[in-house]
Chain A
Amino acid sequence: MNSPSEPPPDIRIGTSGYDYPEWKGIFYPKALGRKEYLGAYSEAFGTLELDFPYYGTPKPGDLRELMARARKPMDFSIKANRALTHKIDPAAWKDGVDEFAKGIGPLHEAGRLCAVLLEFPSSFRYRDDERRYLDKALKALSAFPLVVEFRSAQWFNARVIDGLKERRVGLCSVDLPRLEGLPPLADLVTSDAAYVRFHGRNAAAWLSGDAGTRCEYLYSREELDAWVPRLEAMSTQAKTLRVYFNNHRRGDAAANARQLMALAAAAKLV
């Protein structure tokens, strides 16, 4: 929690992923080469959530190259590999942790790693096996600043919250369609790192299970405006606050991130 000698909370807003050719002509200039995307991104946003490590374990060289491509200072959050969250193999996940840790090492050593996000699917419920696994996984990754995102409402209980506070692990606040079984509208800062993800409110697409269109949604100004006091309250409890938009279709994420930055600036949050 903040103390008087500490600087004000570091609040940054960005997107989940940046390497989207469909953003060309919308967010990136039409003539921009793909290798220049990150440089252009860094001029607009001070933080980026990298989602490619979710699909494949990153190599140390990949992240060194990424850092070099940023034209302006920025930090990164990393979505943990799916072998640690969605496709957990009881026999092999520990090896996966070692490989993952090695891969993100350069970012961490450079002081540019904001958080490792463990996004658990809705099938990851509050049951004994899952609770034991979560405890082990958080211990195995404890060298890094950690944030967990649950998609099952069952995890929103006092025992889990106390456990996260004890382990100094952040609880991700999510903006999702309001559907039964999904997490409720809720914010709680459980570590020095507050973290928010916007997935869009496309309830029909969410239910259809189509990963491509699930996050197809453009937030309205009013919807984003309602988040400003939430961010303000969270910022009083945390040292860092990172906000990422995952509604990346058609560049909506970048447009909404810019809008929210303007609203936060008007409220003197950033």
Chain B
Amino acid sequence: MGSGTILHVNAIGIMAAIEEIRDRSLRGRPFVVANALSPRAVVLDLSPRAHREGLRRGMVLPVARDLCPGVEVRPPRPGLYRAAEEALRSVGLGYTPLVERAGSGHLFIDLAGTRRLFGAPEDAAQKLRGRIMEETGLSPSIALSSNKTVSKVSTRVFRPAGFVALSPNEESSLVRMQPVGLLPGVGTALLGRFGLLGIDTIGDLADLSESEARAIGPRGPELVAKARGIDSSPVDPEPPERRAVAGETVFEPDTTDPEVLGLRSGAIVAELAFALRKDGLGARRALIELTYTDGLRVSGSAGAARILARDDELLSLALAALERARKRRVRVRRLELKLTGIESAGPELDLFEPEDLRLSRLQSALDRIRGRFGFAAIEPCSFLAARA
């Protein structure tokens, strides 16, 4: 029985791990990474000891301090974390070009075809982890199986710093036994619904019929297939910034004000759209995920029939997505905006001069200024107000 070739590298808690590596005196102590100077600072990452004390990511800092008096707070150092992420990816690329960045501290690596160079997938995976430890000091969990879903569930079980290699025969039985919350795509809201339905394990979800799967929601059938260990999505080496561009903002203090939410969305759209246009790209879809003060996440999306590139067009799309996500009268702590369906914007061929030519010219003028003097050189007054 040989192992699958899809490796998931899970360096969860990468910020805290890097802080520990940089300052060995932190090891074994409760500490969090948070911007303590912010009035409603939230825990961005935390040490395993802080986790054992009951602290969680996204928790407001004063609450974390109440729960764990004396917890040390380290300011975030995004440059360091980005460098470590890049080092992880670079180690993966030493084994195969099929390396997919899958979020902070996560990589999928397809080791198919590397046997003659690096041995069996399980041996190659160990060597790769050894290199990661040498290069970054990080000790991630790693899992091998025949697909991304099974590998990801497995690193969530065998953590921290664990290892598991599954043959196709072993996958289904191992995945079925795990709590349903470990299945990618099952968040807090869905977990609550599953609890009411008596779905505790991934196996319970896998056993649902087609009609029951559809009753869960639009993504129900996809989730049930994943629960059965079926996932044919390939490891996609295309950088995620090409598949989707995303930006986020944390509201400090958190807010329910629709104007503030709209303005911040606009600021993100402007930045993302500018980056896309520089590469001659546009997007077809906007997705907004709101994280409410109580930790619940709700998302909404909106699509367009054609590729959109201008700020005003993409902002309309983003605002439509925001409207769909904003279903609760609870304060919002974080907003993440993702533009997907990215393709070449290309010059559109119209038979007649388009009515919105004036807007296109304005956009081009803004881009020229930003291209020469930087993105912050010119922006609407409303964005300045939103940041104040």
Contact = CB atoms under 8 A, between A and B. Distances in A.
Given A4-B24, A178-B167, A186 B123 contact: no
Given A1-B48, A184-B165, A229 B28 contact: no
A186 B106 CA distance: 19
A153 B157 contact: no
A237 B161 contact: yes
Interface stretch (A66-74, A99-107, A156-164): A156-164
9 contacts: A1-B48, A4-B25, A153-B174, A158-B157, A180-B1, A184-B166, A185-B163, A189-B162, A236-B161
Interchain residue pairs A-B with the least CB separation, the first 9 = A3-B28, A188-B162, A157-B177, A229-B130, A186-B164, A185-B165, A229-B126, A178-B1, A226-B123
- Tell me if B's interface is mostly helix, strand, loop or mixed: mixed
Contacts of A1: 27-28, 48
A154 B173 CA distance: 8
B71 to A, nearest CB: 16
Given A154-B177, A179-B1, A226-B122, A3 B27 contact: yes
A2 B25 CA distance: 11
Contact of A180 (B129, B156, B164, B169): B169
A234 B142 CA distance: 13
B379 to A, nearest CB: 47
Contacts of B48: 1
Contacts of B164: 156, 184-188
Interface of A: 1-4, 126, 153-154, 156-159, 161, 178-180, 184-189, 222, 226, 229-230, 232-234, 236-237
B28 A2 contact: yes
Contact of A186 (B119, B156, B158): B158
Interface in B88-120: 119-120
Interface residues of B, number: 38
A236 B162 contact: no
With most chain B CB atoms within 10 A of its CB, the pick from A157, A158, A184, A232 is A184
A22 B3 CA distance: 36
Contacts of A237: 139, 160-161
Contact of A158 (B119, B122, B123, B182): B182
Nearest to B158: A188
Contact of B163 (A157, A161, A180, A187): A187
A158 to B, nearest CB: 5
B160 to A, nearest CB: 7
Contacts of B129: 229, 233
A4 B21 CA distance: 11
A104 to B, nearest CB: 30
Interface string B19-33: 000001101110000
Contacts of A234: 161
Nearest to A236: B139
B103 to A, nearest CB: 20
B82 interface: no
A164 to B, nearest CB: 12
B28 A126 contact: no
B360 to A, nearest CB: 53
B220 interface: no
Contacts of A126: 177
